Structure 1
Amino acid sequence: MTTTQVEILEKEEIKLVGFSVMESLNDILANRTVGILREDLDKRKNEVENREGDGIYLIQLYSAGGWTPDTPFENIVAVKVSSFAEIPSDMITHVVPAGQYAKFVHIGLESEISHTYDRINDYGPRPFDVEYWEDIHSLETEESEIDIYIPVK
């Protein structure tokens, strides 16, 4: 498992369509909630109009009161769209704001991503972070790469 802070970069806003769930990290791990939503979205992504690419995003929005593994927070699993059109009735929209982001890359098994977050957490609390999975079917391989974007203040 290798992690690298690749760069600080400017990102344009990202328009997303997908699913949202409010759950703690411990519940997500116990119930595989995000994994199930990711698989459901992968099966249904062709229903999303104006979709760009096959990758899937995870947006984790943290509450202002501080984060613990038992504190529920919003998790959005979504695909990128060029513009919002007709949205499937059980899906939501979300916009990741444009701005400056630190990009980290987690290389290796997704199940070991906590090691990467331990390093990222050294930078202090943040309002949200963004994961990008290009291929969800290879996440438990040694070659898997997950891009993680952290907003820079």
Structure 2
Amino acid sequence: MSSYLVDVVERKEVHLVGLAIKESLNKVMETKIGGKLRKELERRQSEVENRTGSGMYLIQIYPQDGHWTPDVPYRHIFAYEVESFARIPGDMVSYTLPAGRFIKVVHKGAESQIGDTYDFINQTYGVRPIDIEYWNDIHTLENEDNQIDIYVPR
């Protein structure tokens, strides 16, 4: 069973380096490519220079026309925060999350139950350009006491 807490927060600009794909939600769920990319990035974390902390981000950038459905491809970035951009491996990407005000929704429970939290977010906040997930420890994602921070721009 999942539960969530909601707060409004100001976030600083965050520089990220990691792996990216453009795929639909349904295809990501079907192929489990997200989990594969998460594990690949963790395996290659030593290649990410100037990395800060051990947590990992998932940035989901939706089509700007607002016509997103689970069958429409969009950009997924699995990344680590870095102090600054240094040498970026050729098959990785850099991305800067802008500073600003965000709604922080804390999903508590297994990652496999996060759909309930996104149903709440979608019903409450509607269409948005981006979702940001922060996983403190990718090894505990299926634990009942797991916590995933989700940031929605406001």
Short-chain TM bin: over 0.9
Shift of residue 33 of structure 1? 1.0
Query: How does 1:64-143 map onto structure 2 within 5 Å?
Result: 64-65=64-65, 66-122=67-123, 123-143=125-145
Partner residue of 2:37? 37
**Structure 1 unaligned blocks of 5 or more:** none
Distance 2:38 2:148 in 1: 14
Q: TM-score, normalised by structure 2?
A: 0.96
Shift of residue 134 of structure 1? 0.6
Distance 1:41 1:55 in 2: 12
Distance 2:90 2:63 in 1: 26
RMSD over aligned CA atoms reads 0.7
Q: Deviations over 1:104-139 (max 9, x none)?
A: 011111011000000001211100010000100110
Q: Any idea what SS the aligned residue of 1:51 has?
A: coil
Identity rate, percent:
50
Shift of residue 95 of structure 1? 0.5
Q: Any idea what SS the aligned residue of 1:10 has?
A: strand
Distance 2:118 2:131 in 1: 10
Q: Any idea what SS the aligned residue of 1:19 has?
A: strand
Runs of 4+ in 1 over 3 A off after TM superposition: none
Distance 1:97 1:33 in 2: 26
Q: TM-score, normalised by structure 1?
A: 0.97
Q: What one-letter code is carried by the residue in structure 1 that aligns with 2:96?
A: V
Distance 2:48 2:62 in 1: 26
Q: Deviations over 1:6-32 (max 9, x none)?
A: x11110111000011000000000011
**Structure 2 unaligned blocks of 5 or more:** none
Distance 1:108 1:135 in 2: 13
Shift of residue 89 of structure 1? 1.3
How many residues end up aligned between the 2 structures? Answer: 151
